[in-house]
Amino acid sequence: MSMIRILLFCVLFQTVVNAKSACEQVSFVDRAGWGARDPTSITNLTTKPFSFYVIHHTYQPPNCYDDISCIERVKSIQYMHQNTNGWADVGYHFLVGENGKVYEGRGWDRQGAHAPGWNNDAYGICIIGDFQVASPNQKALDAVKLWIDCGVEKGHVKKDYYIITHRQSQRPGYTVCPGNGTVDAIKTWPRYCSYQNSGMNLTQNETQLSIGSDFCRKQLGSSALANMNYFFSYSISIFFLFFLHVQCFIQ
């Protein structure tokens, strides 16, 4: 093998080794960073990893594009949820601004209050703004996608997770959240599931979660297949890294 090819392999090897995880690529603002008030009570999650992400938009307050306005929006949402709705805290697990930053709401370890009937197995991610027509900008969409992957990396969410929207989780007409603009953007994502709560009465042993899980599993594939694909991709990556290592340091 020529010296040039060996050098190229070494550069590629270092690039792969030094690549940042999804979590590291996100600009994350914790509760202290945006000045969150204390919750009035806390319900810790006892069963993880979760199966679903439910995507929301705020509608009001409006969109934000810089750090100062996004923090103001997050504070106002917490105030409304606590003082108007009477909730313990901001309802969402995370909020995302069009400045590309992710703001911690209830976080990975506390039960949310964002989608009735789904809060035991779904993380709520809310994009700040009104997206009934226009889609969120690319900064916000990229941040949401990376944070979704981050949840998988950290083990909070299953590898074969599903993405739905707030309107899908509830009966038809309950809400337009997260707006057509958001739906148009995320319905192209690989783990998006088209399940829609029909609003019909459930039998004694049914829940919207169980029905939605069955639907999404059939649409997107089984857990076994997802885990097999993950294992195959992981094995190929390890083999490739080993090969690069040999070329760089053994030759």
The answer as to whether 166 is a domain residue is: yes
Which pLDDT band, with edges at 50, 70 and 90, does 221 fall under? confident
Whether 66 and 85 share a structural domain? yes
Whether 73 and 174 share a structural domain? yes
The answer as to whether 21 is a domain residue is: no
Q: What is the mean pLDDT of the chain?
A: 87
The answer as to whether 145 is a domain residue is: yes
Reply yes or no on whether the pLDDT at 245 is more than 60: no
Q: Determine which of 8-17, 61-70, 190-199 has the lowest per-residue pLDDT on average.
A: 8-17
**How many CB atoms are closer than 10 A to CB 16?**
12
The amino acid sitting at 193 is C
The answer as to whether 50 is a domain residue is: yes
Q: Which residue has the tokens 């995302």?
A: 96
Inter-axis angle of helices 223-249 and 3-17, nearest 10: 130
Locate all alpha helices (DSSP H) within the chain, ordered by sequence.
Answer: 3-17, 22-25, 31-34, 67-79, 138-153, 166-169, 180-186, 208-220, 223-249
Q: What is the pLDDT of residue 36?
A: 98
Whether 215 and 235 share a structural domain? no
Tens of pLDDT along 180-213? 999 999 999 999 999 999 998 888 788 999 999 9
Whether 99 and 141 share a structural domain? yes
CATH number for the domain that contains residue 79: 3.40.80.10
**Domain ranges, residue 235:** 221-251
The answer as to whether 6 is a domain residue is: no
The answer as to whether 12 is a domain residue is: no
Burial of residue 48 (number of CB atoms within 10 Å: 0-12, 13-18, 19+) = middle
Percent with pLDDT over 70 in the chain? 80
Whether 186 and 142 share a structural domain? yes
Tens of pLDDT along 125-166? 999 999 999 999 999 999 999 999 999 999 999 999 999 999
Question: Of 92, 77, 96, nearest to 29 (Cα)?
Answer: 96
Reply yes or no on whether the pLDDT at 20 is more than 90: no
Whether 146 and 83 share a structural domain? yes
Question: Of 115, 194, 206, 127, nearest to 162 (Cα)?
Answer: 194
Whether 239 and 141 share a structural domain? no
Give the mean model confidence (pLDDT) for residues 39-68: 97
Whether 245 and 163 share a structural domain? no
Reply yes or no on whether the pLDDT at 228 is more than 80: no
Q: What is the pLDDT of residue 16?
A: 39
Total structural domains within the chain: 2
Whether 149 and 90 share a structural domain? yes
Give the mean model confidence (pLDDT) for residues 34-51: 97
Whether 98 and 115 share a structural domain? yes
- CA dist 139 and 67 (Å) reads 13
Q: Which two tokens stand for residue 189?
A: 């994502």
Reply yes or no on whether the pLDDT at 13 is more than 60: no
SS3 content of the chain, % helix, strand, coil (to 5): 45, 15, 45
pTM above 0.85, yes or no: no
Which pLDDT band, with edges at 50, 70 and 90, does 3 fall under? low
Q: What is the pLDDT of residue 167?
A: 98
Whether 120 and 52 share a structural domain? yes
The answer as to whether 68 is a domain residue is: yes
Whether 76 and 91 share a structural domain? yes
The answer as to whether 109 is a domain residue is: yes
Q: What is the pLDDT of residue 204?
A: 77
Q: Determine which of 19-33, 99-113, 193-207 has the lowest per-residue pLDDT on average.
A: 193-207
> Which phi-psi region, left, alpha or beta, contains residue 141 (left: φ > 0; alpha: ψ -120 to 50)?
alpha
Spell out the residues 6+ positions from residue 171 whose beta carbon is closer than 8 angstroms to its own: 197, 198, 199
Q: What is the pLDDT of residue 205?
A: 81
**How many CB atoms are closer than 10 A to CB 37?**
13
Report CA-CA distances (Å) from 86 to 3, 41, 82, 146.
Answer: 68, 11, 5, 31
Q: Which two tokens stand for residue 80?
A: 């409304």
Report CA-CA distances (Å) from 140 to 77, 131, 148, 166, 177.
Answer: 18, 12, 12, 18, 16
